[in-house]
Amino acid sequence: MSRASAARSEGGSFPPIGRDGLEFREALDGPFPDDIAIIMDGNGRWAQNRGWMRVLGHKEGTESVRAITTTAAELGVNSLTLYAFSRENWKRPDFEVTRLMRLLRLFLRRERRTLMDNRIRLMAIGRLDDLPRFAQDALEETMALTANNEGMLLRLALSYGGRTELADAARSIGREIAAGRIDPDDVDESTLQRFLYDPETPDPDLVIRTAGEMRLSNFLLWQASYAEFYVTDVCWPEFRREQLLDAIRAYAGRKRKFGGLLPGAEARRGGARSVHPRRSGPVA
């Protein structure tokens, strides 16, 4: 029995899994990523390669959002975080930014039935006050509508930047210190974690990036410290169910050590010989 299946039999809080999703998970030769984050890249490039306006790529990209969200929910993913609009994206031409905000509003309204049918709860992270009022209204309405859903959590990263998140957290901690509510000597990693935009959702197990670029682009810098990274050349408008399943299969084949050794590795090497690191070569 898989960990997810066991958790359900014990009354755990994992999202429900569809029959096809359960069969897929049971067939995996390795662990399943309960928490996934995606850098949705390549919308504009995909459109331009077809001689179309960039905004048409963003529009087609919303179809991928629906496909990936429903697939992840069917598989029993705990949380799915989508990098929808970065702080840096405000530098784009006003026309493109306006169309993106209107697409966001359209998506939030159009997909409410999909979210409810799949018991998906929506939330957002980032500097949400930067969004135009009409987009904020649609976001707040959809989050309120889905607040009691008990399935997968869908997080949209909007006007989001990893460095901005850390700076905002540090600023909040500074205020708490100034007010005497936190002792500076007590500040540690768990302190900073509490002041992130969403301190409750687990860190992603798997970060996927589409369109072939090999960088994080200021996405979840704190949370993705030990995530497995998967890059595909497929642009976001063409990233659908099968591409997500391929990414999960690749993840299942990874060996996650978190800086340590796999169980039994030290014994196979004949025991530890020194407490000092080697002087040459990378640390595995």
Q: What are the catalytic residues?
A: 41, 89
Looking at residue 107, its amino acid is F
What would the DSSP string read from start to end of the chain?
--HHHHHHHTT--PPP--HHHHHHHHH-SS---SEEEEE---HHHHHHTTT--HHHHHHHHHHHHHHHHHHHHHHT-SEEEEEEEEGGGGGS-HHHHHHHHHHHHHHHHHTHHHHHHTTPEEEEES-GGGS-HHHHHHHHHHHHHHTT--S-EEEEEEEE-HHHHHHHHHHHHHHHHHTTSS-GGG--HHHHHHTSS-SSSPPPSEEEE-TT--S-TTSSTTTTTT-EEEE-SS-GGG--HHHHHHHHHHHHT----TTS--TTHHHHTTS---SSPPSSS---
